[in-house]
Amino acid sequence: MSAIHTLYVSVSNKSIDREASMNEQLEVRGTEEELERLSQMLEQLKRDDDVTQFRAAIPYKSADHDKATDQFNDDLLKLYQFIYDLGTDKTKAHIHDTNILNKLTNTDYEDPGYER
């Protein structure tokens, strides 16, 4: 049986720490394999972020229906779901209270003004 480790995740900084800090962090517990997968997901989000940041500066290109933005959002949703799955009760409550999983799956693209 694999040992369970506790780590602290910052989605905004895309980092994992062994010790809690004063920054916003989500506490997770998992095996070495699960935590390695979490690290890979954060690395993917960094790559997604790099792609979307260059496209954001184009004034005539809407990012709302952009494939790079869709990929970023999909990966962010998967990351938060994985953090939720590995999270402590406090982490799960935070994710639930912020309603982030629902917000990421239900965009407002169908609202007036977002016609294709």
Per residue of the chain (116 residues), what is the pLDDT tens digit?
A: 689 999 999 999 999 999 988 777 999 999 999 999 999 999 999 998 887 776 655 555 555 566 777 888 899 999 999 999 999 999 999 999 988 888 777 765 555 554 44
Task: Kindly list the distances between the CA atom of residue 89 and the CA atoms of 25, 86, 95, 105, in Å, as whole numbers in the listed order.
Answer: 14, 10, 10, 22
**pLDDT number for residue 102:** 83
Q: What is the pLDDT of residue 73?
A: 85
Say what the pLDDT of residue 114 is: 47
CB distance 44 to 75 below 8 Å = yes
The two structure tokens encoding residue 96: 């639930």
